[in-house]
Amino acid sequence: MASDKVVQVTDDSFESEVKQSSVPVLIDFWASWCAPCKAIGPLVDELADEFDGQVKICKMNVDDNPVTPGQFGVRGIPTLILFKDGEEFGREVGAQPKSKLEGLLKKAL
């Protein structure tokens, strides 16, 4: 079940939701046709619940929002980029185990 704590981000809302966030932001670049994206979707939702209030968890559909993924050189999906203080702090490409993503988030706190 999708978490209501996950924020859907667009090219238009990226600046306010991610760059200007007061907490670290993990953004999941995904597409509806991407099987690995669907596989890690539930993990991303779990992280949103577990890190609620500490990290903002966002998703961006790359088909609907081509500008932002291009700016950050997203070539394969899923790509998860962690931003801290508006700057890229870490990146994982491909379906990753939850423990690896948790470790990335904890480093930013």
What pLDDT is stored for residue 67 in this prediction?
Answer: 97
Residue 99 lies in a domain: no
Residue 103 lies in a domain: no
Residue 2 has pLDDT above 90, yes or no: no
Active-site hit among 6, 18, 34, 47: 34
Residue 104 lies in a domain: no
Domain range holding 88?
7-93
Nearest-10 crossing angle of helices 98-108, 35-50: 50
User: Residue 3: pLDDT band by 50, 70, 90 thresholds?
Assistant: confident
Active-site hit among 6, 27, 37, 55: 37
Residue 82 lies in a domain: yes
Check the CA dihedral 8-71-86-26 and report its sign.
Answer: positive
Residue 21 has pLDDT above 70, yes or no: yes
Residue 15 has pLDDT above 70, yes or no: yes
**Average pLDDT of the residues in 7-11:** 97
Domain count, the chain: 1
**Average pLDDT of the residues in 7-27:** 97
Cβ of 102: how many Cβ atoms within 10 Å? 16
Residue 109 lies in a domain: no
Tokens (6 digits) for 18? 């991610």
Residue 26 lies in a domain: yes
Please say whether the beta carbons of 24 and 108 come within 8 A.
yes
Please report, for the domain that includes residue 16, its CATH number: 3.40.30.10
The yes-or-no answer on residue 37 being catalytic is: yes
**Average pLDDT of the residues in 40-61:** 96
The distance in angstroms from the start CA to the end CA of the chain is 26
Which residues partner with 60 through β-bridges?
A: 29
